[in-house]
Structure 1
Amino acid sequence: MRGSMRVEPVLFEDFQAITDLMQRLGMAVPESKARSKQFWAGLWLENPALGHFEGLPELGWKIISNNRLVGFFGNIPQISWIRSQKVLVSTARAWAVEREFRWAVPQLCEAFFNRNTIDLVIISSANKPASKRCLEFGGSQMPESSYQEVFYWIVSPSGFSQSLLRKIGVPNKLLRIGKFADLLPLRPLFAAALENQDRQSIEEIPLKSLGRQFDNFWSRMQVDYADRLLATRDSKTLRWYFGLSGNAKETKFFGHFENGILKGYIVVVRDDVSLVNLRRLRIADLVVLDENQSAVKKLIAAAYSEAKAQGCHILELTGLPPAIREIISTLKPFRRKMQTFPFYFRALSADLANQLSQANSWYVTAYDGDSAIY
């Protein structure tokens, strides 16, 4: 078997074989062949970052055995900025290898981590085996440890309770016990700080309408957070990224405006956990200028209202700098710790590695990497 195997760069024409592999391994995939082609074309051919690279960046790497695709490490080319310097980023996407070929994973890792055409490698949703590989191939854990802690608010006590009961293995006939949670006055207890927020300055912004306001905001953000690594957030890139998901229709942008000028925004995406029937809304990105406390609270409250409107059970948040997390903590979220720290990086130059070794050099949300693409 080992003699017939080879590792090669991915071609766009491999998209269906990649989708089939992911489906065999139980990973989330587009619902049809037409949607699959649309998704991979959007990810790899319509990416606004492509214009910043010399030639076409690598799309990923594949393991071929007997003319069959049995392994895949994907790549999303992205552009970030720090201190006005452009950073060419390679972001991991959908690592999938059939069990009998996992002995070849080091070859895929070698191809992914060791290149001279990029400045930075990011893995944003690593599980335990992936995190081990990241460290083996020169990667480092992002220095902001709070990224492992998830904030969440319970929106539907009964829905959340039933999902929790499913998770711990309670028989289906007993799940109705969870429904009684809605008979108790629990929601105000869970989210009083959110329910009472004034949201007059908040407006919903359709994804297709993102334009000059966001471009101006992005320019200002690069000034306010100049010392932090920032993934590109101009209107074209935001429309591209959040338009990729099969749940794009449920993705919502809310803006905080002062005198008609955008001063902050929040993005929420659906990320349900079908195994336990948990309806989850995730905060994929949140940025405010001047670390405005009032704006942060109003935007979180808008996200909570959207979670209620979509019939979700919880609203969830990961990432953000400590100063903003401290503001959010006044809104009384519950907290849980991920089993594995998910965010790793490898800087390909000593200067960039030195900068990114400091926690205050990062502004990370679910928007960084692939963890907000479903």
Structure 2
Amino acid sequence: MSIKKLSLLLTNANEVNFRYQLINIVLIIGILVGSTSAVINIVADVDIEVHVLNLIVGLVYSICYYHARCKNRYKQVSIVIVVFSITMIDILWFQSGGLKGAMLLYVLVSASSFIIFIEEKYLRSFIIFALLNASGLILLEKFTTWVVPYSSESIRFLDVSLSFIIVLILFIILIRWLVNQYEFERKKSNEKTERIEFLLHELNHRVKNNLQLISSLIGLQANRLDDEAAIDGLNTSKDRIIAMGKIHTLLYRNDSNETVNFQKYIEDIVAGLIFKYTSETEIEYELKIEQKELSSNEALYIGLIINEAITNSIKYAFVGIKNPKISIEFNSSDQKTKILTIQDNGIGILNSEKSFKGLGSKIITLLTEQINGKLEIQTENGVMYQLTYSYEN
């Protein structure tokens, strides 16, 4: 078993959240600190009381690890860790030479570990308490005779040197675990993102299919009617549904589920309408699209407006016109404001007040309001729609 897999197993990475995994690693470090300190103190020939205290540290941390790792009692264990560790550090401080001993290194390890996993709402209180506790230890050492000194300078050097090596190894273990955990979490996040993208693609595919089905059903219903007005209404509704379905087609084919190729979308809408409504007269169209990518929501609003305007032009504007033409321009006057211009060279509209009371015109007005836009319409020498808007998703 590799070190990476072992660390993930010991910290229960697959079952608990990040903070609980940190508690597990801190407990493992505490067990190592207690056991290795006991060995170091035996080598350094320190008093028997220090051996016992270090063994107690290792034993208590082992019990806490069992209750956290196996019984899932992390909240209770975290309180025990902090209270017990600070208590033992205070006792061992005076039993192991005070400032001249190795306990300052273990204070650093403990404080670093606690700051990492302690809950944010308790973090400020813990830092204040830890600073006051350290200050109190230094003052008590200065004004009392509680510190048990080393029997010789060589013993002190041995204890501090070995402790420094052990603390360095423990920090390396902690840092390495954090790196492993980061990589593990990133992998899980990437897998989750890929899964979400896959589901979104499938959703867009199903929505596209459902819209195609609805469109087909409307077409079948229109074929069974005799009323020309009803047939025209159903066919126009079918065109709107097709315009919405094209968005989901592009989203399904695109790697991104947030933006679509706006030029391709408009080309599909315009070409589809011309192909549907013109059997003999060929209508020329020109697209000048400055911004090639749009968010799917914004593209849907603009696409539906274009669908309504182009449908009106194809149906009513080109009676007696030899070279019918539609032009669409889409550009940005600045970083936020965008301008859409739709124009034909048709006959214009003589009675604009009456003409703009239809459902298509009402839909254009409603969609304009949805994107907080301003719409201007000119009806001489053809019809021109100019929409100015600033859209935020």
Give the TM bin, normalised by the shorter chain: under 0.3
Q: Higher relative CO (CA 8 A, sep ≥ 6), structure 1 or 2?
A: 1
Q: Higher strand proportion, which one?
A: 1
Q: Higher helix proportion, which one?
A: 2
User: Which of these two proteins has the greater Rg computed from alpha carbons?
Assistant: 2
TM-score normalized by structure 2? 0.21
TM-score normalized by structure 1? 0.22
